[in-house]
Amino acid sequence: MTSPSFGDPWTADILTLFPDMFPGTMGHSLAGRALKDGLWALNVYNIRDFSKDKHNTVDNPPLGGGHGMVMRPDVTAAALDHALSSREQVVRPPLIYPSPRGRFLDQAYVKELSQTSGVVILCGRYEGIDQRVIDRYQLTEVSIGDYILSGGEQAAMVILDSVIRLLPGVMGKQIGHQQESFEAGLLEHDHYTQPRHWQDMNVPEVLSSGHHQQIEAWRRQNAEMRTRLQRPDLWDRYTEQHSGQNALKKRVKSIDKERDNN
């Protein structure tokens, strides 16, 4: 992975057939404020501008037959070349092609991306892009889930949103995301706020005790319980990583006991 060159904000170059979709949701709230404050930068390129024929063709039917259209390699490559040559950074940023065939977007990869100089995201449409572009530019295919979107733009927004909130200064207090789901290999603990009594339901007493150590212990145990119940796959990985810890074994026993009592 590359290191950001100091002084430049983390920069996202988006290549799309629908430039008006951006900044879209990324122009609002946390990401929108950070964009205005120069904590990250956005360049949007219209792939159609790189078509050379008089009809501005960007796609053609698949060779070998079949339904749908495929984005042309010469046009998408020209757009990529332009975006890359417009960047001031010497080190090539990660080139991402959102794709249902790709590696899953997870918090570890999001963190990795937040430590680069930025990303170039090529948004697919139709049946996708010509394979030769993926091969020639060594695009990283990234999937946001096992379902089919109509275009890469929404996936690009998801990637951007998850990365931008990790950039320095965006969330204010850095502690904010260190306790979130996936950061320690666990889901996050339950949250409660005022009023303490609502519809015959109470908040766990320890949270009103003012005893920080006990609150921390309750939160950790609650996070472990949630992970075990709601994401057994994460829980298995977590217990494997902490298999030598007696404290964890004790907590697992107490989670089991609590579950048996309910």
Going by their DSSP bridges, the two strands 59-60 and 70-71 should be labelled as: antiparallel
* Residue type, position 147, single letter: Y
User: According to the binding rule CB under 6 A, does residue 152 interact with ligand SAM?
Assistant: yes
Of the pair 46, 143, the CB lying nearest ligand SAM is at 143
Orientation of helix 152-164 relative to helix 107-114, angle to 10°: 70
Cα–Cα nearest to 168, from 94, 116, 114: 114
Please identify, using beta-carbon distances, which residue of 60 and 254 lies nearer to ligand SAM. 60
Using CB under 6 A, pick the residue from 39, 44, 69, 149 that binds ligand SAM: 149
Decide if 24 contacts 157 (C-beta within 8 A): yes
Report, in this order, helix, strand and coil percent for the chain, each rounded to 5. Answer: 45, 15, 40
Per-residue binding string, ligand SAM, 93-132, x by CB under 6 A, is -----xxxx---------------------xxx-xx----
Is-contact 96 142, C-beta < 8 A? yes
**Smallest gap, in angstroms, from Cβ of residue 149 to ligand SAM?**
4
Q: Work out which of 38, 53, 55, 150 binds ligand SAM, going by CB under 6 A.
A: 150
Size of the site for ligand SAM (CB under 6 A): 19
In the numeric block, the tokens 């430049």 are attached to 8
The reply on whether position 151 binds ligand SAM by CB under 6 A is yes
- For ligand SAM, the binding residue among 145, 169, 176, 204 (CB under 6 A) is 145
Residue with tokens 């902490």: 242
Is residue 234 near ligand SAM by the rule CB under 6 A?
Answer: no
| Interaction site with ligand SAM (CB under 6 A) | 98-101, 123-125, 127-128, 143-145, 147-152, 155
